[in-house]
Amino acid sequence: MGYNFDADVIVVGAGPAGARTAALLSERGHSVIVLEEHQEVGFPVHCSGFITPRTLDIAQIESSIVMNSVKGALVYSNNKAKPLILGGDIERAVVVDRELFDKSIASSSGDSGASFKMNNKVVSVQRKDSFVEVLAIHDKKPIKYLARCVVGADGVRSIVAKDLGRDSGEMIWCIGAEARLEGHPMDMVRIYASQDLAPGWFGWSIPTGTNRVRIGIGAAMHSTSLKPRKLLNDLLNEFPEHFKGIEIISFGGGFIPLYSASSTYDDRALLVGDAALQVKPTSGGGIYTSLKAASYAAQAINENLDEDSLDNESLSVYQKNWTEDFGQEMQRGLDIRQVYLGLGDDKLNRLMDIFRLPLFRSKINNYGDIDYPSKMFGILVGLAPILKGLLGLPDLLPVSWKNVVDSRQWDVIHKDLLN
């Protein structure tokens, strides 16, 4: 039986993960429809737009969307006397106009031939032996789309993930705001790490330009019944010297689904980005990982589409490839998160005092990487005996973390740390 397909591939969601997957598939000559529930790409904004320069490179976006450059962070706990200063020497991240970032990726997808259908809210996905049927609502009317396979890039409440039976990961409830604020360091972000202020997460302020910042705070949904708006007000009141005269321009917010090990593929379907829980448990960042996952998703589909070999076994190469690339980094991020959650504010203050020492600070700065935080935290394995005694902690991280650094370099690094 022949089918009148609307496209080879339907991508649900026009964020970075979906738009990038669509672009790569279109470049390979496949017909792609992108269904997006909102009326325009990139709006509303739910992200701080704090990324590394390598993320821009992967996205193939020009630096014109960069609003500011950041060299480091000032980390505060409930001990407000002095921050832990990290970095400050070289550019480590950039702040981008997130709406333009999304629009730029979508524009490249359109240029490659992908068809974007806005204001199409997908409400169901039915996968059959030979096709996928996607039902969307447009202008209150149902529309059915037929394709050979579907890519779920539809975020935290993914309809495609629901069809695959994927459980949601741990959720962080966040609120963010654009604001005018004088006196904020132009090249340093401020991080507020306190379980009292942000149960299970942290707060932040990111300079976006002269006298402009993005502020925000989040909490693990299982850790508190307080709403993020209340937490944000508490943060502003707790650090009045940081936020004196602040003028809130607009609010935004949403949920961040943290990584947990789960399947991201099935017959005629793949998940990418937030829908696949490809979100760092340490920071909630997911743009870099979603763009990398998009390349593996497009590769897996491209290799199997012509032969219509899109079953579970054939598409499993997608999960294999992205897991080999950054899956271990995600798992180590969970380890780091568990250490952080187990500290409490008192031990966190003591730990920050230790990290203020020149030896520790220099090593953290040398090995710190926003996209690969385990490179820095892997160094803690070598220091674990010291930290264990000072903090009364169990082993900070599994012994397998030694592999985060090339074994040929480990002895040299370990010796350097203790000298």
For residue range 303-315, list pLDDT tens digits in order: 999 999 999 999 9
For the chain, percent of residues with pLDDT exceeding 90? 62
Q: Which burial class, exposed, middle or buried, applies to 260 when counting CB atoms under 10 A from its CB (0-12, 13-18, 19+)? A: middle
Provide the CA 244 distance to its chain's centre, in angstroms. 30
Asked if residues 102 and 19 have their Cβ atoms less than 8 Å apart, the reply is yes
Tokens of 305: 């589409």
Provide the CA 324 distance to its chain's centre, in angstroms. 18
Supply φ then ψ for residue 209, to 5 degrees. Answer: 165, -170
Report pLDDT for 380. Answer: 61
Beta strands 269-271; 141-152: pairing state: parallel
Q: Comparing 393 with 129, which gets the higher pLDDT?
A: 129
Reduced 3-state DSSP string for 327-393: HHHHHHHHHHHHHHHHHHHHHHHHHHHHHCCHHHHHHHHHHCCCCCCHHHHHHHHHHHHHHHHHHCC
Terminus-to-terminus CA distance in the chain, angstroms? 73
Q: Is the pLDDT of residue 386 over 70?
A: no
Q: Is the pLDDT of residue 408 over 50?
A: no
Does residue 42 sit in helix, strand or coil?
A: coil
Tokens of 18: 């979906």
Of 150-159, 362-371, 378-387, the one with minimum mean pLDDT is 378-387
Chain mean pLDDT for the chain: 88
Report pLDDT for 254. Answer: 87
- Model pLDDT for residues 253-293, shown as the tens digit of each residue: 889 999 999 999 999 999 999 999 999 999 999 999 999 99
Sign of CA dihedral 315, 319, 322, 325: negative
Residue type, 247: E
- Model pLDDT for residues 106-126, shown as the tens digit of each residue: 998 888 899 999 999 999 999
290 Cβ contact partners less than 8 Å away, ≥ 6 residues apart: 15, 16, 17, 20, 153, 272, 273, 274, 276, 278
Asked if residues 151 and 183 have their Cβ atoms less than 8 Å apart, the reply is no
Q: Is the pLDDT of residue 196 over 50?
A: yes
Residue type, 85: I
- Model pLDDT for residues 15-44, shown as the tens digit of each residue: 999 999 999 999 999 999 999 999 999 887
> What element of type H or E holds 297?
helix 287-305
Report pLDDT for 109. Answer: 84
- Model pLDDT for residues 219-264, shown as the tens digit of each residue: 998 877 888 899 999 999 999 999 999 999 999 888 999 999 999 9
Q: How confident is the model at residue 64 (pLDDT cuts 50, 70, 90)?
A: confident
Reduced 3-state DSSP string for 152-193: ECCCCCCHHHHHHCCCCCCEEEEEEEEEECCCCCCCEEEEEC
Question: pTM score, two decimals?
Answer: 0.91
Q: Is the pLDDT of residue 407 over 50?
A: no
Report pLDDT for 223. Answer: 78
Most confident of 59-63, 210-214, 361-365: 210-214
Q: Is the pLDDT of residue 394 over 90?
A: no
Structural domains for the chain: 7-47+99-166+262-328 (3.50.50.60), 66-96+170-257 (3.30.9.10), 342-417 (no CATH)
20 Cβ contact partners less than 8 Å away, ≥ 6 residues apart: 59, 105, 109, 290, 291, 294, 295
- Model pLDDT for residues 142-157, shown as the tens digit of each residue: 999 999 999 999 999 8
The verdict on whether omega for the bond into residue 240 sits within 30 degrees of 0, i.e. cis, is: no
Q: Is the pLDDT of residue 418 over 50?
A: no
According to DSSP, the residues that pair with 124 across neighbouring strands are 135
Residue type, 61: I
> What element of type H or E holds 416?
helix 407-417
Q: Comparing 14 with 402, which gets the higher pLDDT?
A: 14
Q: Comparing 301 with 56, which gets the higher pLDDT?
A: 301
List % helix, strand, coil for the chain (3-state, nearest 5): 40, 25, 35
